[in-house]
Homo-oligomer: A and B are copies of this chain.
Amino acid sequence: MTDTKITLPEAEIPTHFYNIAPDLPTPLPPPLHPGTRQPIGPADLAPIFPMALIRQEVSVEPAVEIPDEVREIYRLYRPSPVFRARALEAALDTPAHIYYKSEHVSPVGSHKLNTALVQAWANKQEGVKRLATETGAGQWGSALACACRLMGLECMVYMVRVSYDTKPYRRIMIQSYGGQIVPSPSPLTQAGRAILAEHPDSPGSLGIAISEAVEDAAGRDDTKYSLGSVLNHVILHQTIIGQEAKKQMELAGEYPDILIGCHGGGSNFAGLTFPFLEDKLKGRRPALRAIAVEPASCPTLTKGPREYDFGDTAGLTPLLMMHTLGHNFVPPPVHSGGLRYHGSAPLVSHLLAAGMIEAEAYDQRSVFESAVQFARCEGTIPAPESAHAVHAAMRQALLARESGEAKVILFNLSGHGNFDMAAYDAFLSGQMDGGV
């Protein structure tokens, strides 16, 4: 048999997350208090996050231990395989070696469960009974609903209305796990009511839904808030992806020239790339490239300035130093609901400013064209979000064909498209626009 699939034994599930903070070329600018605009401390975050996660958010320890109970549940789907996309390479007639890490194999179909389990566990340790969160396409909401159920917590999900309406199956999945869910903007919160008063037909946005979930958590003693991307501790939890992938590439006898992940809030991109970028930051792999791929309809990294901005629309969250399209930006209702976020992870923004990573943006029709070709070669239908990484990887493979270089490309297949068939239908029937 050829080396198409690279697996790891279960004993190789990492015991610690990799923290990039101590390896950064310059320290991360601190978050600012939304009222005073002064750097915030742990106490400021305590109303909405448990202390264990706040400590992780500001940690400069190089490694953070993974709880045993979380590692035990990781075994449902981890270590996830790395595949060499040989059929795709043949179809593209490229000398490049294309690898992908398979995060779509989790029970909820995406990488989001990696952090959801840690967050639910950490909250449970501190006596929290209920988590409130937002979700775009529904990957995060279903992951948190599943994690809460497995850990014995309740879950409340504010789902961006356009996704709620176009992706009913994600709503039902959340309900199947026993989660509560409402379309956002909702009449349940002040933030939601304010938007509805002005825009009764608002399609919603992640920024609005975050405002609602934060308000929900801040207003109830039994409830904390949970975020599926952007923040340092979320990215920390996703580094399990890149740590496994590093071992797997070693087993394949190769080191990637180019790493690729799609970019919404930054966690799947960072999760795959940070453990490799450690080598670049420490001077061991100066030529390593890492490309964050976003939709042209929401070009945060490629067109947004890097400045302090709110994480949500209502201005309830701390101000983060990040690439942003402005916290009032409402992206068009493209099919990649998970990439419709005005901001970006401060860590990703920081590395982009430092020239350590790159960003690219593509229109959704090109992205789906690549996604369909990938499915027909490799069998798995990618989520629209992950299809951005597929597209950029195929583009690099075609550039390698032109230059005749046997580039090694590794991308993150962060989720499957089983819940996104309406988007594929639009594409296959010629009814999809470019989304720009």
Contacts and interface: CB of A to CB of B under 8 A. Distances in A.
A25 interface: no
A424 B105 CA distance: 21
A283 interface: no
A425 interface: yes
Nearest to A423: B172
Given A10-B1, A10-B7, A379-B150, A83 B72 contact: no
Contacts of A7: 10
A428 B4 CA distance: 41
A72 B1 contact: yes
A329 interface: no
B168 A425 contact: yes
Interface string A78-95: 000001000100000000
Interface stretch (A39-47, A174-182, A210-218): A174-182
A169 B172 contact: no
How many copies of this kind of chain does the complex include?
2
A138 to B, nearest CB: 11
Contact of A177 (B107, B169, B376): B376
A68 to B, nearest CB: 8
Contact of A5 (B4, B75, B419): B75
A73 B2 CA distance: 11
A149 B375 CA distance: 9
Interface string A24-62: 000000000000000000000000000000000000000
A173 B382 CA distance: 11
A381 interface: yes
Given A83-B76, A173-B381, A418 B109 contact: yes
A146 interface: yes
Nearest to A372: B176
A5 B375 contact: no
A381 B175 CA distance: 11
Contact of A72 (B2, B72, B177, B421): B2
Contacts of A419: 418
Interface in A70-126: 71-73, 75-76, 83, 87, 105, 107-109
A65 B275 CA distance: 43
A5 B1 contact: no
A149 B380 CA distance: 12
A149 B376 contact: yes
A10 B8 CA distance: 11
Interface in A146-199: 146, 149-150, 168-169, 172-173, 175-178
Contacts of A83: 76
B87 A150 contact: yes
Given A172-B424, A172-B425, A172-B428, A379 B418 contact: no
A9 to B, nearest CB: 8
Interface string A417-432: 0110110110010000
A192 to B, nearest CB: 23
Contacts of A73: 379
A375 B421 CA distance: 22
A151 to B, nearest CB: 11
Contacts of A176: 372, 375-376, 381, 421, 424, 428
Q: Which of A150, A168, A172 has the most CB of B within 10 A?
A: A172
Contact of A76 (B1, B5, B375): B5
A424 B179 CA distance: 14
Contacts of A173: 381, 418, 421, 424
A168 B169 CA distance: 12
9 contacts: A4-B72, A76-B83, A76-B378, A107-B381, A168-B425, A172-B425, A176-B372, A176-B375, A418-B418
Closest 3 CB pairs of A and B: A107-B379, A169-B421, A418-B418
